[in-house]
Amino acid sequence: QLQLQESGPGLVKPSETLSLTCTVSGGSITSSTYYWDWIRQSPGKGLEWIGNFYYSGTSYYNPSLESRVTISVDTSKNQFSLKMTSVTATDTAVYYCARRVGGSIGAFDIWGQGTMVIVSS
Amino acid sequence: AIQMTQSPSSLSASVGDRVTITCRASQGIRNDLGWYQQKPGKAPKLLIYAASSLESGVPSRFSGSGSGTDFTLTISSLQPEDFATYYCLQDYNYPVTFGQGTKLEIK
């Protein structure tokens, strides 16, 4: 059973860089069938897609965040990571990593439990 | 970006009721749509993919329909564990976008 687990600091200062890692267990991150995505949810708000990584090395980002976001992968550790620069209080959110099935069928079939990140001095 | 508009934003219903939630895309998205259930403090859970395909392990009282711009999620007979917030999303193109959510509450 494939599982995803987010990890990283729960508190980040304004203007600094948010760094999170998602560890994939029970399956390979190099599968051609899936994309590996980051999604966030601000307190009491809806869901916002941040971006993803595909095994071929391609990444796609939400244009609203693209200038500040990088998603990378470490295949040796079966992990993918999110870096978001110049954070502000509006980046306070629960951050989820998720696996999305390729083929545009709207299927994020496995999610991490989420990790809360607070941006505050 | 494609806008996904859900209605209603909130809904009160009773156990045993049949409920329908709708999602409208700002442009045609074929059937590239999923429905998700989220309970407080938990990650969203996939219910329906490709607009009408039931995810493995999801009860058959959940069903989805639609294509193009208009989609529906139907729960045929509400159970106590179904009270949650429901989201649609499209991955027809980037960026992936979500509906704003429908909070289903007990009447």
Q: What is the pLDDT of residues B71-92, one digit of tens each?
A: 999 999 999 999 999 999 999 9
B64 has a pLDDT exceeding 90: yes
- Chain centroid to Cα B89, Å, comes to 8
Mean pLDDT of B41-50: 98
Q: Are B104 and B86 in contact (CB under 8 A)?
A: yes
Mean pLDDT of B8-36: 98
Mean pLDDT of B46-70: 98
* Chain B residues with a Cβ under 8 Å from any Cβ in chain A: 1, 30-36, 42-46, 49-51, 53, 55, 87-92, 94-101
A45 has a pLDDT exceeding 90: no
Cα–Cα distance for residue pair B81/B39, rounded to 1 Å: 9
Reduce the DSSP state of residue B8 to 3 states and report it.
coil
Name every chain B residue with its beta carbon within 8 A of the beta carbon of A43: none
- The pLDDT-based confidence of B101 (bands split at 50, 70, 90) is very high
Nearest to A114 among B31, B43, B100 (CB): B43
Q: Which of residues 42-61 of A touch B (CB under 8 A)?
A: 46-49, 60-61
CB spacing of B55 vs A107 below 8 angstroms: yes
Amino acid at A21: T
pLDDT (0 to 100) of residue A55 = 86
Amino acid at A91: D
- Chain centroid to Cα A19, Å, comes to 10
- The pLDDT-based confidence of A99 (bands split at 50, 70, 90) is very high
pLDDT more than 90, % of chain B: 98
Q: Does A105 touch chain B (CB under 8 A)?
A: yes
Amino acid at A107: A
Quote the tokens at residue B77. 């007979």
pLDDT (0 to 100) of residue A50 = 98
Nearest to B32 among A48, A60, A105 (CB): A105
Q: Are B90 and A106 in contact (CB under 8 A)?
A: yes
CA atoms within 13 A on the CB side of A70: 8
- The pLDDT-based confidence of A56 (bands split at 50, 70, 90) is confident
- Which residues, other chains included, contact B37 with Cβ-Cβ below 8 Å and sequence gap of 6+? B44, B45, B47, B82, B84, B85, B86
A57 has a pLDDT exceeding 90: no
Q: What is the dihedral of CA A67, A104, A57, A41, to 10 degrees?
A: 40
Where is B105: in which H helix or E strand? strand B102-106
CB spacing of A47 vs B44 below 8 angstroms: yes
**A contact test, residue of B4, B56, B91, B100 with most A CBs within 10 A:** B91
pLDDT (0 to 100) of residue A44 = 82
Nearest to A49 among B31, B51, B95 (CB): B95
CB spacing of B46 vs A63 below 8 angstroms: no
Nearest to A63 among B49, B91, B95 (CB): B95
pLDDT more than 90, % of chain A: 91
Q: Does A37 touch chain B (CB under 8 A)?
A: yes
